[in-house]
Amino acid sequence: MGIASEALKNFKGFNLKNMPEVEPLSPGHRACQGCGEVLALRLAMKALGENVVMCSATGCMEIITSPFPQTAWKVPWIHVAFENAAAVASGVESAYKAMNRKGIINQPDVVFVGYGGDGATMDIGIQALSGALERGHNFVYMCFDNEAYMNTGIQRSSGTPFGAGTTTSPPGKKSIGQSTWKKNLPAIAVAHNIPYVATATPAYPVDLMNKVKKAAMVPGPAYLHIYSPCPTGWRCGIDESVQVARLAVQSKVFPLYEVIDGQYVLSRKVAKPKPITEYFKPQRRFRHLTEADVAKIQERIDAEYEDILKKCGGDGKGKEEKE
Amino acid sequence: MAKETGIISWKKLNLGIAITEPGNASQLKTGDWRSMKPITDREKCTKCGQCYIYCPDMVYSKDAEGYFVQNYYYCKGCGICAKECPVDAITMVQEVD
Amino acid sequence: MSKRIGVEVSIAAAEAVGLCDVDVIAAYPITPQTHIVEHLSEMVAEGHLDAEFIPVESEHSAMSCCIGSSAAGARTFTSTSSQGYALMSEICFIASSMRLPIVMAVANRALSAPISIWNDHADLMYSRDSGWIQTIGENGQEVVDLLIHAFKVAEDHRVMLPVTVNLDGFTLSHVIEPIMLPDKAEVAAYLPRYKAPLRLDPKNPVSFGPVGMPDVYTEARKAQDEALKAAKPVIIEAWKEFGDKFGRYYKPVETYKAEDAETIIITMGSISETAATAIDHLREQGKKVGLVRIRLWRPFPGTELVEAIKGAKNIAVLDRVCSFNGGEISGPVCLEVKSLLFDRGMNPKVMNFIAGLGGRDVTVQNFEEMVEKASNGAAPTPYEIINVRE
Ligand SMILES: Cc1ncc(C[n+]2csc(CCOP(=O)(O)OP(=O)(O)O)c2C)c(N)n1
Ligand code: SF4
Ligand code: SF4
Ligand code: SF4
Ligand SMILES: [Mg+2]
């Protein structure tokens, strides 16, 4: 049995009926109305509980929780810079390890978490993340992927999907918008041979919380890629974050799966996939796309989904979609 | 209040301007960002908790009868709860004041 | 009991860090610093030192790990040089502003391009405004002692700032010298266990590194500025205590035959030993010349420096870096000396020499020439790069 399977042997999940009441992130935070990223963060924190140390990258989830003299954090939290949350978490984890071993402290159960946006994780911080995963620190890294640099005003990142309009990938006479395909960071995390990788989204809160909990329980590094709608940057309605996230799963744009000890497991089988046009419709960042563009993207999405299914053993043994 | 605005002497700052009052952002009223207000119809409500779990602003808590009640001090009026309620028990109504 | 051993200075530096019972070391290799962290990782591997050694993937991550570790309350060390120092610079500024008592040894090396692994003070000068306490050693013994002193000062609750101990790459880091290594119990008596005033601890949650709006940024800067000012007396006090315990006394500025000198040359680092030989030669010829060496670079020891040079008519300042300012003002150390003298209403002749770039030798004869030129008031202003082929 692999490290993760062993650690998760007796895993007891959350369910809607017995949600933990704890809110390590307090209300009063400054996120935009209807922010899907802070919703994802809130749910993750509920799953993590209070015996954690949070290491934040610069970005929306840092700015909106910490303008001095207020903090939305009820748990220990540190923000250092944009690209180094994984390295900071490595340092915290190592400090605890050394001090516990030397008898200076007796706090063996603290969970160490690094987190950042897609820019912080997939672009500028990928080196620090790769280093921390490779070194095998016992920590969780969460990427809150809202598919652009939102904090600085919706610039493209390597997480921005093909065709999406951002302020640095604007559609125009000579531009389709984002001209590159989204980087597959979960696959890059998997390539580090870490015990646990998973994708999640706040549209499926129980699934998200269970994955966060598992990531915390697994010894060694765990990586969570959390799809986090941003109504401000995606230019959808402020009441649509959850709906858009759900459509992303239902249209196969963002498949939910786990990779436990290197084995892909589908979390949610998309029985009757919706066309991506349904997913695109509420989001004005895709409004300029032509039918031909959409067809091209659909083709790619289908292929990527097939690839995930194949990795999961073909038939997608995941549960039926329903939560 | 000086404490809330951050206008304090340099001598009073913690090392590295660390904040030592956990979760004191809860002092901040975000309810005044709202133009629409969610109202729950208890007749329709099934106490399923979807509104509670999908609210990005921790607005809902469970009361003694098991209903989920809004704390309007924080509610930003995004409307996610109304959209996600499976039985359409929540209506967004225009704020009047 | 202390023991005297003949040892490479880098190895002695690592041993000194080990004596300080560090908890976490995060480091990345770069010449000429590498021997320090290699030896530390060996000490950890052999079980001589109970610490976590994090073999990071870059210096940027080294300093980031150090911040995480120090904020968690652990005694934390790293070491770097030149390009590595430049790469971590973004995070160095944050370490001091977050008031974390990290100690770093910097084996000073030139900055690229052209890439050069050899010694000068480009890295020391580029980092001078980073808010760290900065000391610079002349010899191996001093480096060992300054490292132990560094933890003592950094972790003092009246200070809470990171410290770099600078040592010249190769010319000091790689030489073998006889060095007294104190024993662990003596060091423990001087340097008690670090207790962080605030740490990342779920039992007492603190938020480190919040957003500073314009209504608090100036106050945050003021607090940090005052902290560095307040550090000087603590640095001096810790040197006094060090001297009383170990018998070796240090001060911010060192003088050599400077008391009655009409001409003084100001230097930093291990090159000062060569300068002292030149002073000896010139004194033998009856010339009233002396040497002043800056050991404490930040906080800048203005009062002590004025005291050391106040009798001189001519002052030569050696800069070990080309600071590309357009040529109408002097190099960095000289500028600071001039600013100090101007503020104190003193008006000696001040001349600036730039030498020893990227490992170029500065010989006894070079020093004799510099001091002679200064004695005659003959050096061109604002500076002269010496030893350069036309
Ligand atoms: C070294 C550095 N480069 C650039 C920035 C500016 N910056 C701050 S946050 C940010 C974008 C954050 O994007 P992402 O990581 O996706 O997080 P989001 O705000 O979208 O949640 C950028 C470009 C910075 N703070 N530091
Ligand atoms: S810009 Fe987007 S991600 Fe950032 S706080 Fe606003 S809604 Fe959330
Ligand atoms: S989502 Fe609707 S039905 Fe469910 S608890 Fe909330 S108001 Fe009641
Ligand atoms: S409107 Fe938005 S902020 Fe208000 S309770 Fe509903 S989900 Fe929460
Ligand atoms: Mg983003």
Looking at residue C296, what is its pLDDT? 98
| Residue A315, pLDDT score | 59
* Cβ separation C99–B8 shorter than 8 A: no
The pLDDT assigned to A1 comes to 82
Q: How many CB pairs under 8 A join A and B?
A: 117
Where would I find the H helices in A180-280? Answer: 185-190, 205-217, 231-234, 241-250, 276-280
Q: Are B19 and A38 in contact (CB < 8 Å)?
A: no
pLDDT score of B1 more than 80: no
Residue A198 has pLDDT above 60, yes or no: yes
Record: fold of B30-94: Alpha-Beta Plaits (3.30.70)
**Ligand 3 atom 3: residue of nearest CA:** B45
Q: How distant, in Å, are the alpha carbons of A65, A135, A139, B85, C63 from that of A43?
A: 15, 28, 18, 18, 31
Domain ranges, ordered by start, for chain C: 3-246, 253-385
C253-385 CATH pick, 3.10.20.90, 3.30.2350.10, 3.40.630.30, 3.40.50.920: 3.40.50.920
Identical fold at C3-246 and C253-385?
yes
Q: In what order do the strands lie in the sheet with C349-354?
A: C253-256, C289-294, C263-268, C314-319, C349-354, C384-385
Which residue from A16, A27, A35 is facing B59, i.e. has the nearest CB?
A27
- Across residues A77-98, what is the average pLDDT? 98
Given B6, B8, B14, which is nearest C198 (Cβ)? B14
pLDDT at B4: 54
- What per-residue confidence (pLDDT) applies to B2? 40
What's residue A190's pLDDT?
Answer: 98
pLDDT, average across residues A4-28: 95
**Percentage of chain C exceeding pLDDT 90:** 98
CATH topology of domain A3-320: Rossmann fold (3.40.50)
- Name the closest-CA residue to atom 6, ligand 4: B81
How far apart are the C-alpha atoms of C66 and C101, rounded to whole Å? 10
Model confidence over C110-125: pLDDT tens digits? 999 999 999 999 999 9
**In angstroms, what CA-CA distances link C146 with A171, A315, C33, C152?**
59, 66, 16, 10
* More reliable by pLDDT, B21 or C380: B21
Q: What is the pLDDT of residues C220-255, one digit of tens each?
A: 999 999 999 999 999 999 999 999 999 999 999 999
Any atom of ligand 1 within 6 Å of the Cβ of A118? yes
| pLDDT over threshold 60, residue C171 | yes
Subunits in contact with chain C (3 or more CB pairs closer than 8 Å): A, B
Can you tell me the mean pLDDT for A146-175? Answer: 98
How many Å lie between the centroid of ligand 2 and the Cα of residue A106? Answer: 38
B24 vs C contacts (CB less than 8 Å)? none
Contact at CB, A91 and C67, closer than 8 angstroms:
yes
Residue C329 pLDDT exceeds 70: yes
* d(CA A60, ligand 2 centre) in Å: 6
3-state secondary structure of B53: helix
Residues of chain A positioned with their CB less than 8 A from the CB of B5:
69
The torsion defined by the Cα of C261, C275, C306 and C333, in degrees rounded to 10, comes to 140
Cα dihedral value A96, A101, A102, A103, nearest 10: 90
Q: Give per-residue pLDDT as tens, A225-248.
A: 999 999 999 999 999 999 999 999
Q: Between C24, C204, C210, which is nearest A68 by CB?
A: C210
The rounded distance, in Å, linking the Cα atoms of C168 and C170 is 6
The pLDDT tens digits for C138-161 are 999 999 999 999 999 999 999 999
pLDDT of residue C216: 96
CATH of C3-246, one of 3.90.180.10, 3.40.50.150, 3.40.50.970, 1.10.1740.10: 3.40.50.970
Write out pLDDT tens, residues C62-86: 999 999 999 999 999 999 999 999 9
Mean pLDDT, chain C, integer: 97
pLDDT at C1 over 80: no
Chain B residue with Cα closest to C223: B10
CB spacing of A239 vs B49 below 8 angstroms: no
Q: Residue C172: pLDDT above 60?
A: yes
Neighbours, chain A (3 or more CB pairs < 8 A): B, C
> What atom in ligand 3 is closest to the CA of residue B60?
6
- Whether B76 and B31 have beta carbons less than 8 Å apart is answered as yes
Distance from CA of C213 to the nearest CA of A (A): 7
Average pLDDT over residues B45-50: 97
Q: How confident is the model at residue B6 (pLDDT cuts 50, 70, 90)?
A: low
Strand partners, C105: C79, C165
Model ipTM over 0.85 = yes
Q: Evaluate if residue A66 carries a pLDDT over 50.
A: yes
Interchain CB distance below 8 Å, A29 and B71? no
In the predicted model, is pLDDT for residue A17 greater than 70?
A: yes
Q: Least CB-CB distance to C220: which of B5, B13, B22?
A: B13
Ligand nearest to the CA of A145: 5
**Which tokens in the block code for residue A59?**
């970005």
pLDDT at C109 over 80: yes
Model confidence at A16, pLDDT cuts 50, 70, 90, reads confident
Residue C198, φ and ψ in degrees, nearest 5: -135, 140
Strand C24-27 to C76-80 pairing: parallel
Q: What integer pLDDT is reported at residue A322 of this predicted model? A: 52
Predicted local confidence at residue A320, as pLDDT: 54
- At residue C194 the predicted structure's pLDDT band, cuts being 50, 70 and 90, is very high
Residues with CB under 6 A from ligand 2: A 31-32, 35, 37-38, 60, 64, 146, 150, 230-233
